[in-house]
Amino acid sequence: MGSVFYFPTRLIFSTDAAEDLVQELSNISSPKVALLTDQGILSTGMADSFVKKLDAAGVPAEVFSNIPGNPNIQDVLPAFETAQKAGSTHIVALGGGSVIDTAKAVGILLGNPGLDWEDLQWGRSKIEKPALPVIAIPTTAGTGSESTHVTVIGDHTGFKRGVVHPEVFAKIAILDGSLTLSLPAKLTASTGMDVLVHSIEAYLGKRANPMTDMFALGAIRAAVRWLPEATHNGKNLEARKAMTEAATIGGIAMDQAGLGLAHAIAGPVANTYHLHHGLTVAVLLPPTLAFGAPSITPERWQPLREALRLPENSQPKDFSPWATKFVAGLGLPTRLSEVGLQKADIPTLAENTTRMAMFGNNVRQATAEDCVKLLEEYL
């Protein structure tokens, strides 16, 4: 079997997410919603507008907002208990990747009574029954969690291990770029770079196939065109919509084709220095592209070059310098020392990188020694 493509999530390209949410629930008998969000979104009043629309439609909604960035199982269980006590029929995730990942985990737990999440993480148990339906409404253009069949939750020690299963897919994703209009420039840039790196690594990775190529190249084109605009002119709704959609289609690509070396290194680096994931992959993109360039074939390079808007005479060796300039243009760092990486930590970081699931999917196979050299060169 060469490759498989399976994507069951209903995508709604929306101009009014709250109204579309009500519409999606209108055909459900006696729906009850657990609306999961975070404190930042709650403070803006955005969640209130959804609750009011649901209330007007006669749909009870229980709000849970105590979800941090990078949630662990200790953060998931109170959300699960809230949704369970409310008798929820649907989980609505209004937020970024952390909120959506939490909602997907809650959906699995509600659909599989008695399931222990850490047993599931470590392969000691399996998902036996359908998950409770999750409706994902992203408020950042970044992780693509709304379109993936993985949820990454830390165990009780904080170790991140994803659960991958078809039941993890959200039932519906409502994509409304207006929900990202208030995102600050730096966060817009960081989350948007996650979109771009997802898509580049999905296109170049060993598991890429013609179907994922379409999504990856489409997301790359959109990010190159619209991320600088969304970052520097955040009120541009066209740019915000384009990046929201790019995050989702880039998420489809990376979910189906896998990731590569930037994400493999980013796991240990972000965990060690407590960095934002998008910022971490952004600063790692130029060095990992420099490493991978010799393995990019002319057949793969030509469509990628066009998506990147590079001149016709550009070669794979020009990819890394382009990435450095692009990242710098967003106001993000381009050297690893700028995000706090210490030379003394590099051997351990490199060794931990080799244990990451996406390490073997990179366009050019690396070793721990390659990672040490790469990190030292871009320190």
Q: Please give the CATH number for the structural domain made up of 185-377.
A: 1.20.1090.10
Tokens of 86: 């409310």
> φ, ψ for residue 316 (rounded to 5)?
-55, -30
Q: How confident is the model at residue 157 (pLDDT cuts 50, 70, 90)?
A: confident
Q: Is the pLDDT of residue 10 over 60?
A: yes
Q: How confident is the model at residue 79 (pLDDT cuts 50, 70, 90)?
A: very high
Q: Quick one: which of 287, 286, 283, 270 has its CA closest to 349?
A: 270
Q: Is the pLDDT of residue 160 over 80?
A: no
Q: Is the pLDDT of residue 124 over 90?
A: yes
Identify the pLDDT of residue 3.
Answer: 81
d(CA 304, CA 221): 9
Residue-by-residue DSSP string for 200-267 = HHHHHSTT--HHHHHHHHHHHHHHHHHHHHHHH-TT-HHHHHHHHHHHHHHHHHHHHH---HHHHHHH
Q: Quick one: which of 120, 201, 202, 192 has its CA closest to 162?
A: 120
Q: What is the pLDDT of residues 38-48, one digit of tens each?
A: 999 999 999 99
Q: Half-sphere exposure of 81 toward its Cβ, with a 13 Å CA cutoff? A: 7
Q: Is the pLDDT of residue 150 over 80?
A: yes
Q: Is the pLDDT of residue 109 over 60?
A: yes
> φ, ψ for residue 105 (rounded to 5)?
-65, -40
User: Which whole number is the average pLDDT over 259-288?
Assistant: 95
Non-local (6+) Cβ contacts of 254 within 8 A are 144, 148, 198, 199, 201, 202, 216
Q: Do domains 10-179 and 185-377 have the same CATH topology?
A: no
Q: Is the pLDDT of residue 30 over 90?
A: yes
Q: Please give the CATH number for the structural domain made up of 10-179.
A: 3.40.50.1970
d(CA 326, CA 213): 22
Identify the pLDDT of residue 70.
Answer: 84
The domain locations on the chain are 10-179, 185-377
Non-local (6+) Cβ contacts of 224 within 8 A are 196, 307, 308, 309, 326
> φ, ψ for residue 4 (rounded to 5)?
-130, 140
Give 3-state DSSP helix, strand, coil % of the chain, rounded to 5: 60, 10, 30
Q: How confident is the model at residue 69 (pLDDT cuts 50, 70, 90)?
A: confident
Identify the pLDDT of residue 1.
Answer: 57
Identify the pLDDT of residue 145.
Answer: 97
Q: Is the pLDDT of residue 146 over 80?
A: yes
61 forms beta bridges with 33
d(CA 20, CA 136): 12
* Residues composing the chain: 379
Q: How confident is the model at residue 188 (pLDDT cuts 50, 70, 90)?
A: very high
Non-local (6+) Cβ contacts of 304 within 8 A are 200, 203, 204, 217, 220, 296
The pTM is what?
0.95
User: Which whole number is the average pLDDT over 126-153?
Assistant: 96
Mean per-residue pLDDT of the chain? 96
Identify the pLDDT of residue 293.
Answer: 98
d(CA 100, CA 136): 6
User: Which whole number is the average pLDDT over 289-294?
Assistant: 98
Q: How confident is the model at residue 159 (pLDDT cuts 50, 70, 90)?
A: confident
